[in-house]
Structure 1
Amino acid sequence: MSNMNDKPQRRWLGPVFLASLALNLFLVALIAVPVIKGPPDRYGPPPKGYGPSVMYGALKELPEEDRLIIRHAMRERFREVAPHIRETREARDRLIDAIAAEPYDEAAVRAAFDAISEATMAMSALGREAMLDGFAKLTPEQRQRVAKAMREDREKSKGIRFRHREGQDERHMEPVPAE
């Protein structure tokens, strides 16, 4: 006769415990990583090139209200910019093809570079006009905040320029000439 205190073995208890432990560790990591690393950069990396992107670092530090005015001005011009984005992409494809072509055709490479430059300059001009429109819609206090953020951003970037001047550029490029 079997003992009444004998309980049936629960073989499922071990795997359930391990699954629970794994889930808890995952949740702890999910919560801990943002706390340790800090909040993510909502704005992503700065855009490449010149024009309005030069002010990217300064603009992302502005209060949301100020950024919305500038962003709205930029969006109003986007339909004008979009064709130039396509032109740049197509010219870049032509550049890639021209560089890889046999025999090498310097005129084709030069033409592709010129097309990229023209499209980029057109986008820069439209971006500049959008920024001017946005600045005109800001109050004097908002423009002061933009100017202050730009000054602070410039101060932050000075170290980068000096590093390049001292020949410490990790890309092995020539140092930027002194101003």
Structure 2
Amino acid sequence: MSDLPTSRAPRRNWMPDTSSGFWRFCLIASLVLNLVILGLLAGRIYRGNPMGKPPVNYGQFVPREFFFDVGRERRRELDKPFRDSREKFDALRDQADDSANKLADLLTAPEFKIDEVNALIDGFTTGRQSVAAEGAQVLKDFFTKLTPEERGLLATAIKERPRHQH
């Protein structure tokens, strides 16, 4: 058996010497930063938007920017009507799907009756159990909880909100 010296692979010039403390610190800091970013993203996905997402778009009357100017506890209080209405809006959306199916049946009925179609549309858009009527009640509940200062903040947020481009 011959005693051949073990040869190491040649060192590449472009790689830093990771045995020094500086490069080891940089690599660990980079790893920690990446893990923090992943944790923040996972938390955002898991918990959702911290301000909550209203079940119906209230952006015209209650812009999201308003909630940035309100403290966390007060934000939760003010957001309560929106959160509490979620299940009701889910039921109303199911009801709207049923209404759409009824409309399809009315449109394909052998004897088309415009009065029934109009009654169905009126009930869907302006009836007491419509999404619009329930949304109006949620907004009314929300506005009754506002202090004069919060009403001022909300008015400013409404005036400064981005407008839709057509």
Runs of 4+ off more than 3 Å: 6-9, 39-49, 64-67, 75-83, 93-99, 101-116, 118-121
> Could you say which residue in structure 2 is the equivalent of 1:134?
142
Q: Deviations over 1:109-164 (max 9, x none)?
A: 666645532469732222222222222212111111111111111xx21x62xxx3
Match of 1:84 among 92, 113, 116: 92
Query: CA, structure 1 residues 104+46, in 2 after alignment: closer, same or farther (shift >3 Å)?
Result: farther
Q: Given the two structures, how large is their TM-score scaled by the length of structure 1?
A: 0.47
What root-mean-square deviation, in Å, do the aligned CA atoms of Structure 1 and Structure 2 show?
4.6
Render the CA deviation track for 1:56-88: whole Å, top value 9, x for unaligned: 5x1354235454333212334455544422211
Gap runs ≥5 in structure 1: 10-23, 165-179
Q: 1:80 to 1:102 in 2, by over 3 A?
A: closer
* 1:54 alignment partner in structure 2: 60
Q: Percent identity?
A: 22
Residues 1:62 and 1:8: Cα distance change in structure 2 (over 3 Å): closer
Structure 2 length as normaliser, TM-score?
Answer: 0.50
Can you list the C-alpha shifts for 1:4-46, whole angstroms capped at 9, x where unaligned?
Answer: 423699xxxxxxxxxxxxxx9xx97x959x9xxxx99937998
Aligned residues between the structures: 131
Tell me the distance in 2 between the aligned counterparts of 1:77 and 1:135: 15
Partner of 2:12: none
Instruction: Specify every segment of 5 or more residues in structure 2 that has no aligned partner in the other structure, as ranges.
Output: 10-29
Larger helix fraction of residues: 1
Greater Rg over alpha carbons, structure = 2
